Structure 1
Amino acid sequence: MAEIVVLGAGLGGTLMAFELLPQMRKEDRLTLIGQGRNYHFVPSNPWVAVGWRGRRDIEIDLAPVMARKKIRLLDQGAKRVDPAANRIELADGSSVSYDYLVIATGPDLAFDEIPGFGPEGFTQSICHVDHAERAHTAFETFCKNPGPIVVGAVQGASCYGPAYEFALILDTELRKRKIRDRVPMTYVTAEPYVGHLGLDGVGDTKGLLESEFRDRHIKWITNAKLSAAEAEILHVEELAEDGSLKKTHDLPYKYAMMLPAFRGVAALRGVEKLVNPRGFVLIDEHQRNPHFRNVFAIGVCVAIPPTGPTPVPVGVPKTGFMIESMVTATAENIGALLRGREPTARATWNAICLADFGDGGVAFVAKPQIPPRNTNWAAKGAWVHLAKVGFEKYFLRKIRGGTSEPFYERFLMKQLNLHKLKENA
């Protein structure tokens, strides 16, 4: 009998639990450890922040789902991982031992690295449904007395799509409320150019997103570092290509949402040979830690080097499609180990994404995600918004049903193929 533990019950961890089950033997036991028992569909958080969705629309109680699948769910969260002892200390003082561990914790949000930054400071966030609900409350207050808006992502961030989505969803909602003419908007980002996305662009994302910003009267500042946030003013440093200070900006705002940098969660940070200095898990080509050979990692918690040097630190995103490929490879590799074989499966690390703008959007395909690529394509249109709405419903239905099929690939490729058929008609 093998004790298999998945640490983290978000997108990656939930899918990981489902895909491990077919790989396990009858005598093996699977445990899923989460922070609470509810799953939230994070890609819908921008919609929550403008009131297009509520918490209940994107929330699933995992307890009955996991009970049906005969997966033990522990919802108290982890305090510390001890890979040398094959043990996880939980937040309530108890512990869980394992034979195989899959780390799928997602990130810790590093708001504290910038004075005044984040939901406990002066700016909003859409990284968690709790943050998105607070952002919605602040947005409703803002609409009664509108003014400048700043949206973007700070130095070290590695998730840029939601920032673009939120800026353009805000634009759509403000036009619906007929107050867009009273709201100057600025996009501020660590990226070296609009549409970089932490991927050095995909297709013509630079041209597509710059055009979108121009059409919607959104100004932008790139190569930007947020030095501090105060009430109604952001202090931003704009760097030159050589990393020297080019210009400082004191940006007034009535509403600001900036995505933070990520780091490894506290339960992992500082564990020697498991994580890098930032707390991200070190893995080989099989998603396996090079030192602790019974430990695997998938998703945002994985250490990936940047695509290249930039004046301001820019991380690489781990998209849902990419995470799904990590999940599948890891499940197959643990299945092999359970049967006395060595791991051979590798994740594809491709990116297929739908970025919603409220009344349109941009879709892109990067195979592989990190250049050079075999496929490098992007397109925009109203169909992207409709596809993203459809995917939300599709994804939540599959989670409730406890499916293990690769539904990111199935659904997104279907949408892209339908779009290409319409283009060629």
Structure 2
Amino acid sequence: MANIVILGAGLGGLIAAYEIKKTLGRDHQVSIISETDYYQFQPSNPWVMVGWRDRKDITVDLAKPLRKRNVNLIVGRAEKVDPANKCVRMPDGSQVEYDYLVIATGPELAFDDVEGLGPNGHTQSVCHIDHAEAGASAFETFCKNPGSIVIGAAQGASCFGPAYETAMIIETELRKRKIRDQVPMTFITPEPYIGHLGLDGVGDTKGLLESEMRNRHIKWITNARVLKAEADMVRVEELNEDGSVKQIHELSTRYTMLMPPFRGVAAVRDVEGLVNPKGFVVTDEFQRNPRWPNIFGIGVCIAIPPMGKTPVPVGVPKTGFMIESMVEATARNIAQLIEGTQPTHKASWNAICLADFGDGGVAFVAQPQIPPRNVNWSASGGWVHLAKAGFEKYFLHKLRTGQSETFYENAALGLLKAHKLKDHS
């Protein structure tokens, strides 16, 4: 019997637990280590920030569905991964031993990289349900005495969709409250252009997102490097293409949400041969670490080179469909190793994104996520808002009932068929 341990119970970790157990069957043990006893659907956090959702709507108690799948749940924070001894060390001195380890921790949020950044500083975040709830409280206070807003991402971030969504959703909510005319809005991003998304754009995301911002009277600054966040001001450098400083902006603000820089979590940082200098897990084409071949990495915690050189470094996002394909490859490769053969399965790295704007949105499909692509498609409309709300309900229902299936693949195929792109799927 093989003992498989999954570190992290976010999107990648939870669906990995389901998929690996389904693939390996009852003869092998699967355990998941989670800092909390619940899963949170992070894509809904911008809705929490404006009061359209609350915690109970977007969280899943892990105990019941994992018990149904016969997956062991270990609630606690991992202290350190010890590859030489094939175990995960816990803060109380105990250790969780493994034959195969799947690292799916997501990132650590490096708020401390920028002075004044984060919930303990002067900016809000949609990276965690706790942050979104704090942001919702601050938003209600803001609406009683409205003023300027700054939304966007700091240098080192590698997830830009939530920043765009937050800006548009807040703008929609301000219109509903009939105070939009009192709120100048500015979007700041390290991307070289609006709609780059860390992917050098998908279809016409540049045109679609610029058009949305113009229509909503949201100004923007690209090639932006945040120097400091204060309670009433964000100081930003705007860079030229050669990396020189073009202009320094001091943006007045009463409400700020910035996606933070990402780095690898403490449990894997500085483990020789496992991670790169920023603490992200190094993997090969089979999601396996070259130095420690019984360790796999999936999701936001893995190292992916940037798309190319940009004035401000821009990371590559790991979208749900891409992560799901990593999970499927990992489950099948572990099965092959248990059977005594070498792994052959590779993730497709396809991408689907539904970016909700409150009363509309932008969707894109990229196959593969990294260009050049076989499918490079984007579209916008009110249907995107409805599609994302529907997917949220479908996804959470499946997780709560312990069902394992290709959530994002089904959604992507639905979009491709609806827009007559199915021959390229």
TM over 0.5: yes
CA distance in 1, matches of 2:187, 2:384: 22
The residue aligned with 1:327 is 327
Q: Report 1:205-284 matches (<5 A).
A: 205-284=205-284
Contact 2:365-2:412 within 8 A present in 1 as well: no
Report deviation, 1:417. Answer: 2.8
CA distance in 2, matches of 1:14, 1:26: 18
Question: Residue type of the partner of 1:16?
Answer: A
Point out 4+ residue stretches in structure 1 off by more than 2 angstroms. Answer: 415-421
CA distance in 2, matches of 1:234, 1:39: 33
Deviations 1:119-158 (A, max 9, x none): 1000000000000000000000000000000000011110
Contact 1:233-1:251 within 8 A present in 2 as well: yes
Aligned Cα RMSD in Å?
Answer: 1.0
Contact 1:232-1:254 within 8 A present in 2 as well: yes
Question: Residue type of the partner of 1:331?
Answer: A
CA distance in 2, matches of 1:335, 1:22: 11
**Structure 1: runs of 5+ lacking an equivalent:** none
The residue aligned with 2:346 is 346
Report deviation, 1:415. Answer: 3.9
The residue aligned with 2:93 is 93
Question: Residue type of the partner of 2:278?
Answer: R
The residue aligned with 2:394 is 394
Residue 196 of structure 2 is aligned to residue 199 of structure 1: no
Secondary structure in 2 matching 1:84: helix
CA distance in 2, matches of 1:355, 1:179: 24
CA distance in 2, matches of 1:401, 1:411: 19
Deviations 1:99-137 (A, max 9, x none): 000000000000001111111000000000000000000
The residue aligned with 1:374 is 374
- The alignment of Structure 1 onto Structure 2 pairs a total of residues equal to 421
Percent same amino acid at aligned positions?
65
CA distance in 1, matches of 2:25, 2:414: 33
Deviations 1:81-106 (A, max 9, x none): 01111010113321111000000000
Contact 1:76-1:92 within 8 A present in 2 as well: no
Contact 1:281-1:301 within 8 A present in 2 as well: yes
Change in Cα spacing, 1:416 to 1:168, as seen in structure 2 (3 Å) is farther
CA distance in 2, matches of 1:361, 1:420: 20
Report deviation, 1:416. Answer: 4.5
Report deviation, 1:419. Answer: 5.1
Question: Residue type of the partner of 2:381?
Answer: G
The residue aligned with 1:404 is 404
The residue aligned with 1:169 is 169
CA distance in 1, matches of 2:95, 2:132: 32
Secondary structure in 1 matching 2:84: coil
The residue aligned with 2:127 is 127
Report deviation, 1:25. Answer: 4.9
The residue aligned with 2:178 is 178
Question: Residue type of the partner of 2:82?
Answer: D
TM-score, normalised by the number of residues in structure 2: 0.98
Q: Report 1:304-319 matches (<5 A).
A: 304-319=304-319
Question: Residue type of the partner of 1:414?
Answer: G
Report deviation, 1:338. Answer: 1.0
